[in-house]
Amino acid sequence: MLLFLSATWFFIPSTLEISVSAKIACNGQGALRKLTNDSIFRRRLLETDSNNVSSDISKFITHGFEIVMQYKNKSYPGHLLLIPASTDSTVITCELTVRAGNNPFQKIAGYQDALALKKQAEKMVSGLQNNLSAFENVYGFSLNEASTPDSFFITTRTRSSFYPTTPFVYAQIHKLEKFCEQQGGIITNPPMLNISGTDSLGYIVKTALPVNKTMPPNGDITPGKMVRGRYIITDVTGGPQKIQTTMRNILYYFQDYARVAMAIPFEYLVTDREKQPDTSKWVTRIYSPVF
């Protein structure tokens, strides 16, 4: 017994440090933003495991969070840190402290608690590694880079004191369609749209039609030529809020990966919104020019 107690005292420290790390294929700012802003994702990550270890975030800190794990009515403080390793990789580390004391029996109990806590930490880190390594899970859209299939377009620009409705947008589109017909042109793809907020005066609404040839200017209708560069292209199913969220996430991607916007983004209205009033069924293809 004396030998056992002596071995326990010698081999099990009074303070046990737990550290679990993994490298994930994800930008550090993107990963941290996802964890900070997505409460559902965060709650799923911290759910109670089979050993009845529960976790909670107590405080947001630089590069991560202070966390507290609960086990057997005891609280164990720690940190969940996301440290950028490169532009597209991050090291995530979960660190915990278990104070076992100097009593040999308390040390044994503390060691057993540490094993259960480490299992939960490994589960958390593995869950983050699996989820955040998928680009779409972090930014909410699938990353696809390509050029545009169109060469020429005709466009018009107007202002609206309110967020432009479907009838407002399509009134501009029909004007362009009529002009294209008068010029003997062919529309080569769905209508294009860009809505930008300005100030107290409202919104600037730009509509365009891809066409098969160059056309002369006419009043507020002007011709244009598509730049054959690279575009971030993604399809969005949903209404204006879903589209705006995707636009914002594309800008986050640009910032995180130091990409430069070449020009304003625009939408291809794949679904005819006049014929489909249910916004949840709208399909919109976003093109965002990028260097």
Identify whether residues 123 and 200 lie together within a single domain.
Answer: no
End of a domain among 112, 138, 164? Answer: 138
Whether residue 5 is predicted with pLDDT greater than 50 in this model: the reply is no
What are the tokens at 250? Answer: 């594309």
Identify whether residues 270 and 194 lie together within a single domain.
Answer: yes
Beta pairing class for 145-146 and 230-237: antiparallel
End of a domain among 138, 170, 198? Answer: 138
Beta pairing class for 221-225 and 152-160: antiparallel
Q: How many structural domains comprise the chain?
A: 2
**Rounded average pLDDT over 219-235:** 91
**Rounded average pLDDT over 273-284:** 96
Identify whether residues 177 and 266 lie together within a single domain.
Answer: yes
Identify whether residues 10 and 66 lie together within a single domain.
Answer: yes
CA 8 to chain centre: 48
End of a domain among 138, 161, 192? Answer: 138
Of the pLDDT bands very low, low, confident and very high (cuts 50, 70, 90), residue 111 is confident
Residue-wise pLDDT tens digits, 120-157: 899 889 989 999 999 999 999 998 999 888 889 999 99
Whether residue 289 is predicted with pLDDT greater than 70 in this model: the reply is yes
User: The CATH number of the domain where 229 resides is what?
Assistant: 3.20.80.10
Residue-wise over 262-282: b if at least 16 C-beta within 10 A, else e? eeebbbbbbbebeeeeebeeb
User: The CATH number of the domain where 119 resides is what?
Assistant: 3.30.530.20
Identify whether residues 79 and 94 lie together within a single domain.
Answer: yes
Contact in structure between 238 and 279 (CB atoms under 8 Å): yes
Identify the residue with better confidence: 196 or 181: 181
Of the pLDDT bands very low, low, confident and very high (cuts 50, 70, 90), residue 280 is very high
Identify whether residues 129 and 151 lie together within a single domain.
Answer: no
Rounded Cα–Cα distance for residues 283 and 252 (Å): 22
pLDDT at 222 (0 to 100): 97
Domain that holds residue 233: 145-290
Beta pairing class for 54-61 and 64-71: antiparallel
Identify whether residues 157 and 132 lie together within a single domain.
Answer: no
- Single-letter code of the amino acid located at 291: F
Identify whether residues 120 and 151 lie together within a single domain.
Answer: no
3-state secondary structure string across the chain: CHHHHHHHHHHCCCEEEEEEEEEECCCHHHHHHHHHHCHHHHHHHCCCCCCCCEEEEEEEECCEEEEEEEECCEEEEEEEEEEEEECCEEEEEEEEEEECCCCHHHHHHHHHHHHHHHHHHHHHHHHHHHHHCCHHHHHCCCCCEECCCCCEEEEEEEEECCCCCHHHHHHHHHHHHHHHHHCCCCECCCCEEEEEECCCCCEEEEEEEEECCCCCCECCEEEEECCCCEEEEEEEECCHHHHHHHHHHHHHHHHHCCCCECCCCEEEECCCCCCCCCHHHCEEEEEEEEC
Whether residue 103 is predicted with pLDDT greater than 70 in this model: the reply is no
Which residues have C-beta within 8 Å of that of residue 186, sequence separation ≥ 6? 180, 211, 212
Whether residue 173 is predicted with pLDDT greater than 50 in this model: the reply is yes
CA 223 to chain centre: 35
Residue-wise pLDDT tens digits, 30-72: 999 998 888 888 877 776 565 677 777 778 888 899 988 888 8
Identify whether residues 9 and 61 lie together within a single domain.
Answer: yes
pLDDT at 183 (0 to 100): 96
Identify whether residues 21 and 104 lie together within a single domain.
Answer: yes
**Rounded to 5 degrees, what angle do the CA atoms 150, 154, 157 make?**
125
**Residue for token pair 């699996």:** 130
Identify whether residues 183 and 205 lie together within a single domain.
Answer: yes
Whether residue 230 is predicted with pLDDT greater than 60 in this model: the reply is yes
Identify whether residues 150 and 279 lie together within a single domain.
Answer: yes
pTM for the full predicted model: 0.84
